């Protein structure tokens, strides 16, 4: 029996962790796919391909050309387009697929959250009085803050925000998670932040700011995920190993 070819759609801590868990398996041939947006991406434990596929059609072509046996969509919970494309392309090519998606955070006692459905809604919800805002929504959507230029923003991203915001009071913080609670407490206090704007990404790597906001009684405007239909979902790397092994054993039974 040949090796099982797995395509992991990545760009997340979980994708890297799953790749690490599969990297040494001699029965697998794993490729991790990145969108190619980050100038200096984190090193990965398996071979990487980079850049868009060209929509669902392009991804379907890739699955056929590369004879991919199994797709794991381990992209970010807010990366909706690639996830929809993965579901469509896998369906078209009859390639088994599932998503590895960390559960969303839920508020706990002491949290002061306002839930909204987009970064633009979050910026509107900041209101008319000028505030000191930590904007942790990522580089791609930071420009929404230009609509409310009366606030002072601290914008954190892995790569520089290009072009910079047109809002007059903006400080840029460059950093790649995971972020430690102590550092987040220090950062929020140092800049006297009054509101945190965050995406409900889930996971541990970026939860520090949420916990820090709770401890400092700072309000969080939380951009919630859109409901997505599509692939079956597992929530942890450990849980992702089950369907992979199930796929391999059913293939062995069929003698493929
Ligand atoms: N959105 C976030 O908040 C966020 C946060 C952290 C990390 N990320 C990561 O950053 C990447 C881009 O996110 P996004 O929100 O821009 O995604 P998106 O809106 O769902 O995707 C836009 C396009 O980027 C390409 N693409 C996205 N992920 C890809 C991957 N893993 N491999 C190859 N092509 C990919 C696809 O291009 P084609 O149609 O040409 O194939 C897709 O149609 C994702 O890999 C995601 O996991 C996103």
- Lining residues, ligand 1, CB within 6 Å: 9-12, 33-35, 37, 52-55, 58-59, 75-76, 78-82, 85, 138, 140, 199
For the chain, strand residue ranges (E) read: 4-9, 28-34, 48-50, 70-73, 97-100, 113-116, 132-136, 152-157, 170-174, 195-199, 219-223, 233-234
> Is 245 in contact with 23 (CB distance < 8 Å)?
no
Please give the backbone phi and psi of residue 46, each rounded to the nearest 5 degrees, phi first: -135, 165
pLDDT at 228 > cutoff 80: no
pLDDT mean across residues, the chain: 95
pLDDT at 87 > cutoff 80: yes
Percent of the chain with pLDDT over 70: 99
Q: Give the domains, in start order, of the chain with CATH numbers.
A: 4-103+227-254 (3.40.50.720), 113-223 (3.40.50.2000)
Pocket test for ligand 1, best of 75, 86, 230 (most atoms within 8 A of CB): 75
Residues 6+ apart with CB under 8 A from 94: none
> What pLDDT was estimated at residue 42?
87
Segment among 1-5, 8-12, 31-35, 176-180 with least mean pLDDT: 1-5
pLDDT at 180 > cutoff 90: yes
| pLDDT interval class at 2 (50, 70, 90) | confident
pLDDT at 71 > cutoff 80: yes
| pLDDT interval class at 26 (50, 70, 90) | very high
Separation CA 123–CA 98 (nearest Å): 34
């Amino acid at each position: 029996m040949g090796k099982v070819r797995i395509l992991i759609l990545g760009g997340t801590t979980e994708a890297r962790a799953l790749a690490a868990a599969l990297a040494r398996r001699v029965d697998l041939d794993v490729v991790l796919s990145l969108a190619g947006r980050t100038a200096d991406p984190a090193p990965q434990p398996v071979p990487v391909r980079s850049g868009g596929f060209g929509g669902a059609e392009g991804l379907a072509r890739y699955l056929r050309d590369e004879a991919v046996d199994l797709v794991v969509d381990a992209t970010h919970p807010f990366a909706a387009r690639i996830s929809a494309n993965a579901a469509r392309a896998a369906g078209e090519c009859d390639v088994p697929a599932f998503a590895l998606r960390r559960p969303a955070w839920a508020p706990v006692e002491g949290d002061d959250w306002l839930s909204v459905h987009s970064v633009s809604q979050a910026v509107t919800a900041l209101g008319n009085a000028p505030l000191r805002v930590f904007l942790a929504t990522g580089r791609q959507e930071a420009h929404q803050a230009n609509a409310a230029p009366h606030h002072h923003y601290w914008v954190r991203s892995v790569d520089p925000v290009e072009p910079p915001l047109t809002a007059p009071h903006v400080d840029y913080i460059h950093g790649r998670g995971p972020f430690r609670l102590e550092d987040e407490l220090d950062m929020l206090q140092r800049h006297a932040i009054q509101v945190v704007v965050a995406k409900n990404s889930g996971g541990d790597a970026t939860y520090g700011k949420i916990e820090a906001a709770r401890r400092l009684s700072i309000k969080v405007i939380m951009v919630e995920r859109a409901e997505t239909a599509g692939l079956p979902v597992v929530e942890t790397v450990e849980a992702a190993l089950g369907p992979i092994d199930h796929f391999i054993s059913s293939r062995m039974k069929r003698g493929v």
